[in-house]
Amino acid sequence: MKQRPSFPARLDDTLAKNRPNTVGKVVVVPTKPVAHMPPSAPTARATSAAAVAAPQGHGMESSAVRTRMVQKLAAQGISDPQVLGAMGAIERHRFVDSALINQAYEDTSLPIGLGQTISKPGVVSRMLELMRNGQSGRLGRVLEIGTGCGYQAAVLSLLATEVYSIERLRGLHDKARDNLRHLRLANLHLLFGDGMEGYAKGAPYAAIIAAAGGEAVPQAWVDQLAIGGRLVAPVVAAGGAQALLVLDKTPNGVRQTVLEAVHFVPLKSGVA
């Protein structure tokens, strides 16, 4: 396996109110074959929802508040035990401003500065469940577009053997580093750069997940996705509204399935 960049790395160049319909719009687009995903690291057992069920501590420090959030997510239809376990394990209140801490475990998006938001727990868990697609163990290498405050990156680190997360706004990149420092996640690499270009040095990826929506999925993301890999991202649909897109890369091309309406910040190029 080729050598991975040290942490942190730098790039030099530049979720949903409705539940999914049972049938999405499917489009098959031919694509050039690329190298298969190399074997991932040995499967690791993810934290189960039961592991965070016993209340302890007080206030936001108590696992009881996270357990209640997980129970609400399950009631909304999230059934992947690894996703529920990871959502229950990461303390969301550590990633929001102190003035909003009492809303940390509500199913709502919250501002994190620079015009960006932390997504609803329901949206995060929905996209992660789609990304995992029923896989039993951990995923291999995953690319996240849009680190934001670092919350979803932390959850991803419990679901994948290795995570690369790119943020184009220096202020948020630095905030995420501060938010994540106490967790000491050795398998999480934060990158500052243009997310629209992906991160070719870490490719191919078992999965790619994006927290910003554009007119179409950048070709660089498709190129960097492994055969058999899955991409989950918001895209601008008919009428200008955003919808959740699932893209599966097969030996014969890519299959795109459009699901429910979502609302994310727009996908932009460059760094700031």
Active site residues per annotation: 119
Are 194 and 271 a contacting pair, CB within 8 Å?
yes
Ramachandran angles phi, psi of 147, nearest 5°: -65, -35
Cβ neighbours of 23 (radius 10 Å): 8
Q: Quick check: helix, strand or coil at residue 126?
A: helix
Q: How far is CA 78 from CA 81, 82, 126, in A?
A: 8, 10, 7
Name residue 69's amino acid: M
d(CA 100, CA 15): 20
Q: Are strands 242-250 and 225-236 parallel, antiparallel or unpaired?
A: antiparallel
CB atoms within 10 A of CB 40: 16
Half-sphere exposure of 47 (CA within 13 A, CB side): 17
Amino acid letter at 236?
V
